[in-house]
Amino acid sequence: MRLDQFLPQGVAALSRSLVRKVIDIGGVHVNGQRIRTASRMLASGDLVELYLDHLPLVPWRISSQDVVFQDNYLIVINKPATIETQPTHARYKGTLYEALQVYLQDPFRPHQKPEIGMVQRLDRSTSGLIVFSIHPKAHKKMTELFKDGHVDKIYLALVSGQPASAHGEIRSLLARSRRENRVHSVTTGGKPAITRYRMKSRLNSCSLLEVQILTGRSHQIRAHMAELGCPLLGDQRYGGPMVLDGMMISRPMLHAQRLKFLHPLSAQPLEVSVPMPADMDQALQFLKEVK
């Protein structure tokens, strides 16, 4: 039986046309391997796994408005929230990495894949700046810049409550708890993490912070803000409120606003920035008006 015939029988809520879309974006695996061919014939004993992330099944594509900087060696993208940085079990097409392959593809060399070096990552729910190296000469040098802490990374964070101090620094060892699927500070065994923050706006029930991370640990800002007693608005995993002053919050309110580093080839200073995204700005304006 064909793969797109088998799945609707096993999952009654999925039509054959919907199954084909899920297969196309990469959400179906057979015997542990992603399969993107709807006509794949199955044999007795095959293990078929289907993953759904409940995001749009139309693959996201990069437009020129999303590109903040590009030369022969680097490209900087303003990533929207809800877009995965790299492929997941649920999708390959429409992730930032795949969309970048499509965007950089040379139409005169369709079989030659673009050279892409992933030197940083952003959570799916985090919007803002992310840089990729797109030339072999830049891959190693960009990796070293991030590894050695020579990239200034500035975020905007809309958090619950107010920190005790208008500015400060958090240093800890962060470790992941697989049981809770989150990171937290530990006394031993974790990786060093340094986060600096300063107040930009103080509201009745929340604050807008400018956050600088001197290390790049997974969920670093989310964990440190929660441990500061000011979790990100919308960050349910780390204790942040999903509703504040009657406003529904759809995602953790975190935005990568500014990157600054020396170009890996020319060594010239390069600084890029983008404004606050519409959903964060609307939330901030709404909360400012709440008495």
Residues 6+ away with beta carbon under 8 Å from 11: 19, 50
Same structural domain, 208 and 258:
yes
Same structural domain, 10 and 142:
no
pLDDT of residue 204: 85
Residue 59 within any structural domain of the chain: no
Q: Which residue has the tokens 């803002």?
A: 128
pLDDT of residue 290: 73
Same structural domain, 237 and 101:
yes
The CATH number of residue 16's host domain is 3.10.290.10
Same structural domain, 16 and 119:
no
Write out the chain's pLDDT in tens, 291 residues: 999 999 998 777 788 999 999 999 999 999 999 999 999 999 999 999 999 998 999 999 999 999 999 999 999 999 999 999 999 999 999 999 999 999 999 877 878 889 999 999 999 999 999 999 999 999 999 999 999 999 999 999 999 999 999 999 999 999 998 888 899 999 998 999 999 999 999 998 899 999 999 998 999 999 999 999 999 999 999 999 999 988 999 999 999 999 999 999 999 999 999 999 999 999 999 988 875
Same structural domain, 91 and 183:
yes
Q: Which residue has the tokens 């802490």?
A: 149
Beta bridge partners of 194: 171
Helical axes 16-25 vs 3-10, angle rounded to 10°? 120
pLDDT of residue 111: 80
- pTM for this prediction: 0.92
Same structural domain, 7 and 97:
no
Whether the Cβ atoms of residue 224 and residue 195 lie closer than 8 Å to each other: yes
Same structural domain, 157 and 246:
yes
Residue 123 within any structural domain of the chain: yes
Please give the residue range of the domain that contains residue 18.
3-50
Indicate which residues carry an active-site annotation.
123
Residue 115 per-residue DSSP state = -
Q: Cα–Cα distance between 216 and 147 in angstroms, integer?
A: 8
Tokens of 66: 């999303």
Residue 39 within any structural domain of the chain: yes
Residue 227 within any structural domain of the chain: yes
Same structural domain, 143 and 170:
yes
Residue 57 within any structural domain of the chain: no
Same structural domain, 105 and 45:
no
Same structural domain, 265 and 126:
yes
The CATH number of residue 253's host domain is 3.30.2350.10
pLDDT of residue 40: 95
- Split into its structural domains, the chain has a count of 2
Same structural domain, 41 and 137:
no
Residue 113 within any structural domain of the chain: yes
Tokens of 40: 């794949």
Residue 94 within any structural domain of the chain: yes
Residue 222 within any structural domain of the chain: yes
Q: Cα–Cα distance between 240 and 230 in angstroms, integer?
A: 8
Q: How many other β-carbons are positioned within 10 Å of the β-carbon of residue 270?
A: 18
Q: Could you read off the pLDDT of 180-212 as tens digits, one per residue?
A: 889 999 999 899 999 999 999 999 889 999 999
Same structural domain, 83 and 216:
yes
pLDDT of residue 291: 58
